[in-house]
């Protein structure tokens, strides 16, 4: 062990002693928090699980797997595309049991890693990364995942990608958009957001993307006065416009556009 690593280890141990917690107890806390994170999101990546404990806490996911608490599987395109993890991790039956002993709000969790939708890995992991980054920086104090939101709402209601809790108590819905929507799908997206805002399901919404062009397109779609169409299927199963309305002025300041790095 180098002198630098030794110094960091001693510093970390000193902070734990000052907080009245042993290294062993702190390790158990980190492991439990990692298991709860996987439970709440459904799955995660080894790199993000390691990052939960801070930049100097690597190897946590490997330890959890060796203990039989999580299971990892290779992804279909992670070896080819750099922004998709090469592996994902889910809880084992033993890991799920540890979580259910500690939490009160239960959700429907499956331990089968092959039921994870691999077509949305990049999108879903980006939401997890953004959430963790804002937790670590103190920008937000808590969050709710789609699974948690679904457990408390009417069946069939489309949930945002996450809801972030701010220090002032306001709840921001997160919509991560990595590809552009057009025509009917764009109108439906705008309608859903406006309906949720009017129903006070959350206080504001942040539309996030790594594409400036996509952000500009969504910003124009939510401009007060912009015409939006309501679509429905006719008796032949074809989509058609049944109503037109304008984006109301009260949305000003309630819809935010945030850029993230690729």
- Give 129-184 pLDDT, tens digit per residue: 999 999 999 999 999 999 999 988 777 778 999 999 999 999 999 999 999 889 99
State the CB neighbour count (10 A cutoff) for residue 181.
16
Residue 56 pLDDT > 80, yes or no? no
Conformation bin of residue 178: beta by default, left when phi > 0, alpha when psi is -120 to 50: alpha
Separation of CA 217 from chain center: 23
pLDDT tens, residue by residue, 201-259:
999 999 999 999 999 999 999 999 999 999 999 998 899 999 999 999 999 999 999 98
> Per CATH, is 1-115 categorized as 1.10.10?
yes
The model's confidence at residue 40, banded by pLDDT at 50, 70 and 90, is very high
| Spans of all domains in the chain | 1-115, 117-262
Query: pLDDT confidence of 6, banded at 50, 70, 90?
Result: low
Contact between residue 38 and residue 91 where contact means Cβ atoms under 8 Å apart: yes
Is the Cα torsion angle 183, 185, 188, 194 positive or negative in sign? negative
Residue 13 has pLDDT above 90, yes or no: no
Q: What is the pLDDT of residues 235-251, one digit of tens each?
A: 988 999 999 999 999 99
User: Quick one: pLDDT at residue 139?
Assistant: 92
On average, the pLDDT of the chain sits at 88
CATH number belonging to the domain at 117-262, selected among 1.10.30, 3.30.1360, 3.30.2170, 3.40.1560: 3.40.1560
pLDDT at 17: 58
Q: State how far the Cα of 147 lies from the Cα of 109, in Å rounded to an integer.
A: 9
* Token couple for 157: 């209601």
- pLDDT at residue 33, as a whole number: 95
Q: Residue 87's pLDDT is what?
A: 93
What is the predicted pLDDT for the residue at 191? 93
State mean pLDDT over 35-64: 89
Spatial distance between the Cα atoms of 136 and 52, rounded to a whole number of angstroms = 9
SS (H, E, C) the chain: CCHHHHHHHHHHHHHHHHCCCCHHHHHHHHHHHHHHHHHHHCCECHHHHHHHCCCCCCCHHHHHHHCCCEEEEECCCCCCCCCCCCEEEEECHHHHHHHHCCCCCCCCCCCCHHHCCHHHHHHHHHHHHHHHHHHHHCCEEEEECHHHHHCCCCCCCCCCCEEEEECCCCEEEEEECCCCCCHHHHHHHHHHHHHHHHCCCCCEEEEEECCHHHHHHHHHHCCCCCEEEEEEECCCCCEEEEEEEECCHHHCCCEEEEECCC
pLDDT reported for residue 3: 58
- Binning pLDDT at 50, 70 and 90, where does residue 262 land? very low
* Token representation of residue 2: 């180098």
Instruction: Write down the pTM of the prediction.
Output: 0.85
What pLDDT is attached to residue 72?
Answer: 94
* Tokens matching residue 187: 């109108």
Contact in structure between 239 and 232 (CB atoms under 8 Å): yes
């Amino acid at each position: 062990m180098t002198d630098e690593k030794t110094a960091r280890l001693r510093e970390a141990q000193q902070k734990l002693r000052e907080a009245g917690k042993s290294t062993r107890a702190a390790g158990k806390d980190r492991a439990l928090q990692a298991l709860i994170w996987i439970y709440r999101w459904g799955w995660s990546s080894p790199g993000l699980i390691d990052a939960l404990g801070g930049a100097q806490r690597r190897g946590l996911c490997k330890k959890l797997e060796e203990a039989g608490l999580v299971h990892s599987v290779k992804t279909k395109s992670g070896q080819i595309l750099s922004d998709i993890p090469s592996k994902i991790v889910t809880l084992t039956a033993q890991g799920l049991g540890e979580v259910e002993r500690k939490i009160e709000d239960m959700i429907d969790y499956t331990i089968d890693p092959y039921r994870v939708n691999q077509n949305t890995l990049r999108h879903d992991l980006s939401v997890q990364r953004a959430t963790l980054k804002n937790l670590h920086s103190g920008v937000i104090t808590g969050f709710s995942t789609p699974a948690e939101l679904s457990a408390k709402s009417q069946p069939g209601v489309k949930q945002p990608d996450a809801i972030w809790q701010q220090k002032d108590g306001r709840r921001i819905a997160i919509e991560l958009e990595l590809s552009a929507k057009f025509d009917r799908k764009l109108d439906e997206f705008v309608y859903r957001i406006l309906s949720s805002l009017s129903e006070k399901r959350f206080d504001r919404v942040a539309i996030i993307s790594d594409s400036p062009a996509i952000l500009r397109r969504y910003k124009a779609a939510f401009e007060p006065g912009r015409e939006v169409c309501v679509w429905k299927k006719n008796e032949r199963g074809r989509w058609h416009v049944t109503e037109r309305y304008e984006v109301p002025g009260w949305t000003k300041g309630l819809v935010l556009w945030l850029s993230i790095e690729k």
